[in-house]
């Protein structure tokens, strides 16, 4: 494996090997704030799950810099995101509201998926083009290639980013997507979040390749390895990959070396299988602490302003969760009304029958067709 690109080391100091990207202070603060918001969202979701208010969440702790650095390099007005379920930071960087994300966590009437997806399986068309997240691994990868090719055929100046964990490199979607992108010279960026563990399966049992970036060679796809805990380094390699894709130079595979500090989900306890020494080392190298130190050293933040960002993030998450929790459930009719732009007669008849059926059986369906849960 080649040495990962690193700009900020674990102590928050510049390595001196590569100069940092030229970003203004507002962008640096936006990067930092998105990481902080992701961590605050994680914490609030854990509390909600543990108190039985939501059923499930996927911790992002430790992965935030990879997601946020990647998001910063794309143009949300025209580029496409085909993510997996550990990319909350991309949404927060693009100013998706906490309330709209909690709407999905509760599956309420304002949820963009109208309660038909698992929690954390977000789908948005505004303020960014965000493909609905899927639980099965790797399915979003060939979809991203198709999206980017469609944009290319239309003459649009758009690229597609697809993200996935190290475990997803063992799926058919990864291999078919990479091969198709290489053959078709698709403007697709493949971002592998190598967080070391696919649930309880370590990378050493996932592949005997020299890392994951090398897998691009088989498909003629250029690749690069980056320190995924260094948000500036991730931004730099992603910016380069996006520029190449826009220029017609095809896809890039990026392997971001990071570490999942929480469980695979709220149903998982990583202390049962991750060696304590490995967790301790990962904690010392985690992305939020190093970026905070760097920004304070550079005079972009102070201890007080950094603390205020966290206070504001915690308050935003609490308010978003409380607002989402008070909203009603999706009504039964949405199963039918979401299918067609103009509802055909036979579907309208089925909808009316379904609502009447549940109402007559006294299954908690009111005259508005409240969903029988």
pLDDT for res 97: 97
Q: Collapsing DSSP states into helix, strand and coil, what is residue 298?
A: coil
DSSP secondary structure, 209-261, as one string = SSSSGGGGGGGT--EEEEETT-HHHHHHHHHHHHHHHHTT---EEEEEE----
- Are 291 and 95 a contacting pair, CB within 8 Å? no
pLDDT 10s digits, 292-307: 999 999 999 999 999 9
User: Bridge-partner residues for 223, per DSSP?
Assistant: 253
Active-site option among 264, 292, 294, 358: 264
CB-count exposure of residue 154 (10 Å: 0-12, 13-18, 19+): exposed
Question: pLDDT, tens digit, for every residue of 75-105?
Answer: 999 999 999 999 999 999 999 999 999 999 9
Tens of pLDDT, residue by residue over 118-173, are 899 999 999 999 999 999 999 999 999 999 999 999 999 999 999 999 999 999 99
Neighbours of 192 (CB within 10 A): 28
User: CA angle, corner 167, sides to 239 and 102, nearest 5?
Assistant: 70
pTM over 0.85, yes/no: yes
Using DSSP, state whether 188 is helix, strand or coil: strand
Catalytic residue among 39, 84, 121, 260: 260
In the chain the domains, ranked by start, together with CATH numbers, are 25-325 (3.40.50.970), 331-373 (no CATH)
Closest CA to 206 of 255, 171, 253, 252: 171
Reply yes or no: is the peptide bond before residue 127 cis, omega within 30 of 0. yes
Ranges of beta strands (E only) in the chain are 80-82, 129-130, 160-165, 188-194, 197-198, 201-202, 223-227, 252-257
**pLDDT reported for residue 333:** 87
Query: How far apart (Å, rounded) are the C-alpha atoms in residues 261 and 7?
Result: 22
Cβ atoms of 354 and 332 within 8 Å: the answer is yes
32 counts as catalytic: no
Of the candidates 301, 189, 287, the one whose C-alpha atom is nearest the C-alpha of residue 238 is 189
The total of other beta-carbon atoms located within 10 Å of residue 279's CB is 15
Question: Which two three-digit tokens encode residue 306?
Answer: 């950094």
Asked if 235 is an active-site residue, the reply is no
- Does 260 participate in catalysis according to the annotation? yes
User: Which stretches of the chain score pLDDT less than 50?
Assistant: 366-373
For the record, the structure tokens of 121 come out as 């399986």
Query: What distance in Å separates the CA atoms of residue 64 and residue 86, rounded to the nearest whole number?
Result: 9
Contact (CB, 8 A) for 185 and 157: no
For residue 32 the two structure tokens come to 């930092």
In the prediction, which pLDDT does 373 show?
37
pLDDT of residue 211: 95
Distance CA 172, CA 209 (A): 17
**Per annotation, catalytic residue among 50, 273, 357, 361:** 273
The pLDDT value recorded for residue 355 is: 85
What pLDDT does 367 receive? 43
């Amino acid at each position: 494996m080649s040495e990962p690109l690193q700009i900020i080391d674990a102590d928050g100091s510049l390595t001196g090997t590569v100069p940092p990207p030229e970003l203004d202070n507002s962008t640096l603060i936006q990067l930092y704030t998105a990481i902080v918001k992701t961590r605050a969202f994680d914490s609030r979701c854990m509390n909600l799950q543990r108190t039985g208010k939501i059923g499930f969440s996927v911790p992002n702790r430790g992965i935030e810099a990879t997601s946020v650095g990647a998001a910063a390099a794309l143009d949300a007005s025209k580029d496409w995101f085909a993510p997996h379920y550990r990319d909350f930071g991309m949404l927060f960087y693009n100013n998706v509201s906490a309330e709209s994300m909690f709407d999905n966590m509760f599956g309420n009437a304002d949820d963009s998926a109208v309660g038909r997806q698992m929690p954390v399986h977000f789908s948005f068309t505004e303020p960014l083009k965000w493909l609905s997240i899927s639980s099965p691994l790797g399915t979003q990868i060939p979809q991203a290639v198709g999206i980017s090719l469609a944009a290319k055929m239309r003459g649009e100046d758009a690229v597609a980013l697809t993200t996935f964990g190290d475990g997803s490199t063992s799926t058919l979607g990864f291999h078919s997507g990479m091969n198709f992108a290489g053959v078709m010279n698709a403007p697709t960026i493949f971002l592998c979040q190598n967080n070391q563990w696919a649930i309880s399966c370590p990378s050493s049992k996932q592949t005997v390749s020299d890392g994951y970036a090398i897998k691009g060679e088989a498909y003629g796809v250029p690749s690069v390895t980056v320190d995924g805990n260094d948000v500036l380094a991730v931004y730099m390699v992603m910016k380069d990959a996006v520029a190449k894709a826009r220029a017609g130079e095809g896809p890039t595979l990026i392997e971001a070396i990071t570490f999942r500090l929480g469980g695979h989900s709220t149903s998982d306890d990583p202390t049962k299988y991750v060696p304590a020494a490995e967790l301790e080392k990962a904690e010392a190298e985690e992305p939020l602490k190093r970026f905070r130190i760097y920004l304070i050293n550079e005079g972009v933040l102070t201890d007080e302003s950094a603390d205020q960002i966290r206070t504001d993030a915690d308050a935003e998450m609490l308010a978003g969760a409380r607002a989402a929790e008070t909203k009603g459930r999706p009504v039964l009719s949405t199963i039918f009304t979401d299918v067609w732009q103009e509802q055909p007669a036979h579907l309208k008849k089925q909808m009316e029958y379904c609502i009447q059926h549940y109402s007559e059986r006294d299954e908690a369906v009111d005259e508005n067709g409240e969903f029988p849960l």
